[in-house]
Structure 1
Amino acid sequence: MSIAESNSPKKVLYPRKTVERAKVALACSPFQRHLFETMCYQSVSTNAIANVSGTQQGYTKRPLSELAVENALMWLIQVGVLRREVDGQGITDSFRLTPLGRQLVEETQQSWNPTRRDRLSNMLNRWLRLPF
């Protein structure tokens, strides 16, 4: 097991497999590191990531449809990296990092470069939705 530190004095324990799966999911996502760094201190809406605005802000390498963005973000929620923002009226279209996601972004200072094996593993986990 590895230890994840949040901004609070408490330490959160995550199983090693959970951390590894989250690292691979981040590396294989269609998003740039800048998006996750932004999510460390503020929520980001789907509209800011989708289409041309995502590339202009440095969140994606190429324009992505709103559906593609939503699907990729939902996968990152399932692996425990992101969470949806909630306001007084319910769930919004904005996302933030979880403590696990914040730990991974803070630990890794350089950009992620997934291997072919990482991409295959992420694809199979995502496609089959294997229990973890």
Structure 2
Amino acid sequence: MDGSLPGTLNDPRSLNRAASALRCLPFRRAFYRLLSGEAISSEELSRRADQTELTVAPLSSERAEDHFIWLIRVGVLRREVDGQGLTERVRLTPMGRDLLEGWSEEIPRAGLLERIRHGLRRRWPRL
């Protein structure tokens, strides 16, 4: 991706970091399609019978929540809000929708070097 998405106010570095997260994390395009229509919690995801269609490998609710938090930090997901405030459910952000439009099919998986860089960036964001 070249980072130039029409209609977004995000800088290219943010877009590239978010696109890398989409390629490195174990969620399939079907997962993000689901989030464009409804909110889901990590607990709900871990209990779903169709989890293998949504993720590359089965995820515990704790591991899914870790990934959700990272996707929130990079701007792809946001917490759903109800009458009492934030919930544990997440939805896709406009930036997440824009990024997903860049791929017509399944999200391409990242190579080894990109996964290593992503892991380092995730653990030490200032690098």
Number of positions where the alignment pairs a residue of Structure 1 with one of Structure 2: 124
Give the match for residue 50 of structure 1: 46
Residues 2 and 13, structure 1, Cα contact 8 Å, conserved in 2: no
Which string of whole-angstrom CA distances, capped at 9 and with x for unpartnered residues, describes residues 5-63 of structure 1? Answer: xxxxxx2222111111111101111211100011122212222211564525x222322
In the aligned structure 1, how far is the partner of 2:112 from the partner of 2:90?
Answer: 28
Q: TM-score, normalised by structure 2?
A: 0.86
Matched-pair identity in %: 35
Which secondary structure does the structure 2 equivalent of 1:91 belong to? strand
C-alpha separation between the residues in 1 aligned to 2:73 and 2:48?
Answer: 26
Calculate the TM-score normalised by the size of structure 1: 0.83
1:67 corresponds to: 62
Q: Is the 8 A contact 2:39 2:89 kept in 1?
A: yes
SS in 2 for 1:92: strand
CA distances 1:88-132 after superposition (whole Å, capped 9, x unpaired): 01211211111110001122112222112210111011011227x
Q: Which runs of 5+ in 2 are unaligned?
A: none
1:66-98 deviation digits (Å, cap 9, x = unpaired): 110100110000111100101001211211111
Match of 2:5 among 3, 6, 9: 3
Aligned: 1:84 with 2:73:
no
Quote the RMSD (CA, aligned, Å).
Answer: 1.9
Equivalent pair of 1:29/1:72 in contact (CA under 8 Å): yes
Out of 67-76 and 34-43, give the one that drifted further: 34-43
Name segments (4+ residues, structure 1) moved above 4 Å.
Answer: none
2:98 to 84, 90, 103: 103
8 Å CA contact 1:32–1:61 kept in 2: the answer is yes
Letter in 2 for 1:12: T
Aligned-partner Cα distance in 2 for 1:110–1:120: 24
Give the residue type in structure 2 aligned to 1:45: S
CA contact (8 A) 1:45 1:93 kept: yes
Cα distance in structure 1, aligned partners of 2:23 and 2:45:
17
Structure 1 residues not aligned, in runs of 5+: 5-10
